[in-house]
A and B are shown apart, each in its own frame.
Chain A
Amino acid sequence: MLLSINWLQEFLSLKGITPETIASELTLHTVEVEKIERPGDRFKNVVVGQVLSVEKHPNADRLQITTVNVGAETLRIVCGAPNVAVGQLVPVALVGAILPNGLEIKEAEVRGEKSSGMICAADELGLGQDHSGIMVLEKAKIGQNFADYLKSDDVILEVDNKSLSHRSDLWGHYGLARELSALLDIKLKPYSRTSELTPENNPAETLNIKVEDAKLCPRYLAIKLEGIEVAESPKWLKDRLMAVGQKPINNIVDAANYIMLELGQPLHTFDAKNIKKIVVRCAKKNEELLCLDGQERKLNSDTLLITDGKDPIAIAGIIGGQNSAINPETTAIIIESANFQASSIRKSSQNLALRTEASMRFEKSLDPQLTDLALKAVVSLIKELVPSAKISSELNIQSTPLPETKTIVMPWAWLRNLMGVEMEKKEIKKILNHLGFEISEESKEALTVIVPSWRAAKDVAIKEDIAEEIMRIYGYNNFPGELPESKMALPEDNLARALEWQIKDALSLDAKLFEVYNYSFVNETDLEKANLNTQGYLRLANPISQQHTLLRQNLVVNLLGNIKTNQYKYDEIGIFEIGSIFQDLPGDFYETKNKEERLPYQEKKLGIMLAGNNAGELFAKLKSIITRLIGHISQDQWEVIFVPTDLTPGYADSKMRAIIKVDHKELGLIAKIADLVQKNNGLKKMVVCAELSLNQILKLKESTAAKTYRENSKYPPVVRDLAFVVSQKILYNDLYQEIKNFNSLIANVELFDVYEGTNLAAGQKSLAFHVNYQDQTRTLTSEEIDTLQAELIKRLQDKFEAVLRDF
């Protein structure tokens, strides 16, 4: 929103206070001022020129070549405006000017004709939306700076609309003046533009008005004026509107807009000629309205309309219709000053994709009582602009009861405790008075405050709201800051988070992987490419892209995308992610504390993916990463095993895949990406992946006893190497477990060679182990190891048909 400092000066004296001070006070205490703009800055290198000649452009039908006298010289300028004519005084942007919309004027050639400057339309100068033709100026001097022509010593502040969203009272100059009066401790003048609303015709007309939905329209005021003469507004009015970015239209419309910009209450004026009655109702199916901006709009049944009893004449609170627009022939008008439900206006404005000055204000929840003040003000202004105007009807008020006055009790001690600093009572009362809060009662214990209607409409309801007023005007930066004293207490454990960091450290530091973050979403195409079922996924009701429609159930699908992104830049890739997955099953969290219904299942998973050229090596590397990771987490208390499985997701290779297990508990899955999936995803590298459940790891951690130190044996180990030839179907892990658990004197077993090939029969393989015999209490003798080993060989022969191989 744009604020004119001159306009504010009508309501309080700002003499000697710089715009910078005003901006900074507002920013630090009320709303953010984003820009301070002096017209001189805006219109640098824009001057008044006179059009000396207009000729057709030889190469373009719609363009004309003009010569323009700008005082110091005569320029040749190509102009596309239909209304350009000889003799006009026009704003000319000289070469070097930068217009408010950012356009920089340079020497140019337009369809082969040189052009040195630009004749500007109002919108190009940031003076409203008018782009129908160039601006034609009155009483201007040739060569005069355009800023001087506007005769504005005014400074404009641009306020961030978002920071005003809870303060409907600040959407007009008077409200902001009130705020400044508190900030600068300057008296606010009472609002004086007002008129009696008694009819001046005898007998007075009675308007026929019906509000069908009082919830959507709690208050509707209308009055009729006759003797209207529609004309251009006087310069002071146009200047003021243009200064804050509002396009002047005619005296009647401008008067309504002026009061809106002054008080924050949008008003609408109808040509009264064809309006016999007014019915405020919701739109019917397929209703349409040709709006003031020339667009025909389809209305849906949520949209509140102003109708003449049959057809719509305006979309309530948003935009008027052309059928009732003020026009040069208008002689009588109906002025509407109404209060509409904020959320209804917001929704309609969203549905229509149309935000107007009016809708922006209504959707902030306006004070219903403001309708009266604004109607009196606009009648007063119209009568000033059109002396022949007379009130010809009774004031018609359709209204639900006005909200009761809010009174809030604020205990002094409570305020002190909330602030943490002591403020003088006098100071507190002064701030409240400046802001329009009346003090109805004051005692040693508390202050009783009456909330003004313009604050009660939305943002002030409880004592905390009053405290905020006091604190922000006092200034947040006047609080010295102090650390809270608190009792020492241990923070809650967050074992899950601790585990996450442990994993992240191990995988980045030890395994040298890159941590990636992916979106929590997938889509059907990606799932299909990963050979996964697309059913059963939670779906976004309102996705913003086709890429992101479903909530992911695994991390692998998006990790595949990461490999594709990077595959040409790296020979080998190793990445991991810890992130949530979501399933359409009841989970751990409840909808509310008191409700049975549970949120869908969600948990954090660890996904790891390696890409390179040799699948076997990658698979082995990933197993070793996982083994080291689990070793790190458990301080080698857990032994990871990889167990073959048939139940795996579609992306997994049918052979190279296994369940990751510790102590019979499944932690996750490791697999090579199937060739088909690799091809579907355009992957040029071999890819292996693993996905582990952090929950399972945590559960395992909880059930694991504390780690204890075991003294290293004082007695030397005896290492014997044994190689066994077995069928290829026999799994390493089974053999290993058998040897390891064969006797307590076997301290350690380590595989050191796997061989398949020429020296062995088909279907056979050889596994060679270092077997480590050791006792804690004595030195073992060769004889007892020989005996033990013989028994072991026999056991393996019986169980696995393993044959000892000679080296």
Chain B
Amino acid sequence: MQKKLENLKKEILDQLNQAKDSAWLKNVEQKYFSRQGELSQVLKNIKDLSEDARKEAGQLANQMKQEVTERYNEVRNALEGSKNKSETIDPTLPGSDQNRGHLHPLSQTQKQLEDIFTSLGFSILDGPELESEYYNFEAINIPADHPARDMQDTFYVGEKDQPGKMNLVLRTHTSSVQVRSLEKYGAPLKGIIPGRVFRSEATDVRHEHTFLQMEGIIVDKNINFNHLKGLLELVGQKLYGPQTKLRLRPKFYPFVEPGANGEYTCFLCQGKGCKLCKHTGWLEIVGCGMIHPEVLRAGGINPDEYTGFAFGFGLNRLTMLQYGIDDIRLFNSGDLRFLEQF
């Protein structure tokens, strides 16, 4: 039996080695591998052997079958492969379609911030871009003779100061949504307000009349200035890495008291000082402060019972810093060569 198996193996391998085309191979397959083929027949005969002989022959037969089948597959693959025009395949060729779509870089920044704040339990709030003078100014403690209300800073819509008609402005900040939100949801409230804002300003590489801001507001019992510091530092670490520190400097905004300017450790030089941070080690990123009691009152909240803080990011500035964009006008340029980089 052993001899028989050895001979058959040799015979099959010989036949396979001589195979020049698939017709030959087909014959080999018919002769040895098919149900009625010689290999199958030999294997069938094994079961008629004595128990000891059967065990030995079985092992040998399996080994032999595996060997010739592998060789058969090799030969078949080689023959079929040769049908292709070239002998080799270049796996480094590009895929069929390289194009992809692009989200606007400002959208990407906005999403990043929305995700950070919603993960902290903030709601995403909205308000109108075309706003009443009341919500944009008065409600947040910007009095009638404040310079921000001049026509040289704010876009007014329709004729201004018509008797019996309200003055309409394109909101100059997302802070305009503060009082609307307090009126609608009351306290406690934790929300962010990303959105488009407008300033009546001639444009150049550093100035835009249309840009994106993101306001944040927390109103609750026992909210304090130390919390503002803690939260904004956390956000900075999320944006720029765990080593990031927050530095606060006094800054006046009519709708907060006290008010501050928040600077984060420059992410490019880790605070050592470089061109990006003008060698200060700090990047001015966020305006913030404790919400002015008049603003809470305007929103129907009792400032003796509740306190809160507010903060605002300029999304254009964040995005420019992140990617080293040097002309703010690119964002609204519709230039696809700019947009396809993001």
Chain A residues in contact with chain B, CB under 8 A? 27-32, 163, 165-167, 342-343, 346, 350, 417-421, 459, 462, 464-465, 467-468, 471-472, 476-477, 479-484, 486-489, 491-492, 494, 496-497, 501, 504-505, 507-520, 538-545, 548, 551, 558, 561-562, 565-566, 569-570, 573-575, 579-580, 582, 587, 589, 591-593, 595, 597, 599-600, 602
Contacts and interface: CB of A to CB of B under 8 A. Distances in A.
A509 B118 CA distance: 23
A32 to B, nearest CB: 7
A483 B223 CA distance: 10
Contacts of B196: 520, 579-580
B152 A350 contact: yes
B312 to A, nearest CB: 17
A688 B238 CA distance: 42
25 contacts: A418-B224, A419-B224, A419-B226, A420-B227, A464-B257, A476-B249, A480-B226, A484-B218, A494-B123, A505-B103, A508-B100, A515-B339, A516-B104, A520-B196, A541-B157, A541-B158, A542-B152, A542-B156, A548-B209, A587-B128, A591-B166, A592-B132, A599-B130, A599-B131, A602-B130
Interface string B228-250: 01110110000000000011111
B173 interface: no
Nearest to A365: B145
B29 interface: no
B210 A418 contact: no
Contacts of A29: 249-250
B226 A482 contact: yes
Contact of A542 (B200, B229, B231, B331): B200
A504 B220 contact: no
A609 B124 CA distance: 29
Nearest to B258: A468
Interface stretch (B37-45, B83-91, B184-192): B184-192
Interface residues of B, number: 91
A133 to B, nearest CB: 35
B204 to A, nearest CB: 12
Contacts of A488: 121
Contacts of A545: 202
Contact of A593 (B170, B183, B230, B258): B183
Given A519-B210, A591-B134, A471 B258 contact: yes
Nearest to B121: A491
B121 A520 contact: no
B156 A166 contact: no
Which of A508, A579, A591 has most chain B Cβ within 10 Å? A591
Given A165-B147, A465-B257, A518-B334, 14 more contacts: A464-B258, A479-B248, A482-B226, A484-B218, A489-B121, A492-B125, A497-B124, A514-B340, A539-B157, A544-B202, A544-B209, A562-B334, A587-B128, A593-B300
Contacts of B198: 520
A459 B339 CA distance: 45
A21 to B, nearest CB: 16
A393 B297 CA distance: 52
A81 B243 CA distance: 58
Nearest to B194: A497
Which of B135, B200, B334 has most chain A Cβ within 10 Å? B334
Nearest to A570: B336
B124 A491 contact: yes
Given A508-B102, A509-B101, A518-B332, A479 B229 contact: yes
B260 interface: yes
A538 B104 contact: no
A508 to B, nearest CB: 4
Contacts of A492: 123-125, 185, 191
Contacts of B26: none
Contacts of A518: 332, 334
B331 A508 contact: no
B135 A592 contact: yes
B224 A602 contact: no
A653 B157 CA distance: 33
Contacts of B14: none
Contacts of B130: 538, 551, 580, 582, 599-600, 602
B102 A541 contact: no
Contact of B220 (A420, A484, A573): A484
B250 A30 contact: yes
Contacts of A27: 249
A28 B166 CA distance: 41
Contacts of A491: 118, 121-124, 190-191
Nearest to B101: A508
B201 interface: yes
B227 to A, nearest CB: 4
Nearest to A31: B250
B113 interface: no
A209 B252 CA distance: 38
A32 B23 CA distance: 90
A558 B210 CA distance: 15
B183 to A, nearest CB: 5
Contact of A512 (B100, B248, B336): B100
B230 A511 contact: no
A489 B191 CA distance: 12
Main secondary structure, interface of B, reads mixed
Nearest to B257: A464
A495 to B, nearest CB: 10
Contacts of B234: 483
B317 interface: no
B201 to A, nearest CB: 7
A401 to B, nearest CB: 22
A479 B225 contact: yes
A471 B223 contact: no
Contacts of B102: 508, 514-515
A566 B334 contact: yes
A664 to B, nearest CB: 29
Contact of A471 (B160, B225, B251): B225
B200 to A, nearest CB: 6
A596 to B, nearest CB: 11
Contacts of A566: 334-337
B23 to A, nearest CB: 37
B287 interface: no
A417 to B, nearest CB: 6
B156 A541 contact: yes
Interface string B159-201: 1100000101010000000001001010010110000101011
B158 A514 contact: no
Contacts of A519: 210, 332
B206 to A, nearest CB: 15
B277 to A, nearest CB: 14
B222 A417 contact: yes
A520 B170 contact: yes
A214 to B, nearest CB: 17
Contacts of A497: 114, 124, 126
Interface in B92-135: 99-104, 106-107, 111, 114, 118, 121-132, 134-135
B226 A32 contact: no
B283 to A, nearest CB: 14
Contacts of A592: 132, 134-135, 139
B202 to A, nearest CB: 6
Contact of B230 (A342, A481, A486, A509): A481
B293 interface: yes
Contacts of B124: 491-492, 494, 497
A517 B332 contact: yes
B290 A418 contact: yes
Contact of B334 (A28, A565, A599): A565
Contact of B158 (A520, A538, A544, A589): A538
B188 A561 contact: no
Contacts of B332: 517-519
Nearest to B159: A541
A417 B340 contact: no
B293 A484 contact: no
B213 interface: no
B336 A573 contact: yes
